[in-house]
Amino acid sequence: MVQVIPLDNYHVQVFFDDGKIIEYDANNDLQFDALKPLRDIQFFKESCTILNNTLAWDMQGDRDVTQCIDIDPFTLYELASINHLIA
């Protein structure tokens, strides 16, 4: 994974090092209490990063990999590619 770009609709575009691009929809995840801080779109976007070699949210702002919310990279990679949508 080389880059993540959080969007205003609680989606994140994820760019893999082999060129694959996917769009992760985090809306369903936000129903869980542990992710309540991410319901603030500004915090969602500002804390979105790559930690543990995957899409993550740095909940404390100190890049502590034990204090982040991350998504399994294999789950992300299995999502359909959106490369054809990127100009």
For residue range 3-31, what is the model confidence (pLDDT) as tens digits?
Answer: 999 999 999 999 999 999 999 999 999 99
Residue numbers of the domain that contains 73: 3-85
Mean of the pLDDT values across residues 29-54? Answer: 95
pTM (global) more than 0.85: yes
Residue 53: CATH number of its domain = 3.30.2020
What percentage of the chain reaches a pLDDT higher than 70? 99
pLDDT at position 86 is 74
User: How many structural domains comprise the chain?
Assistant: 1
Residues 63-73 have pLDDT tens digits of 999 999 999 99
pLDDT at position 87 is 58
Taking the C-alpha atoms of residue 48 and residue 24, their distance in angstroms, rounded to an integer, is: 12
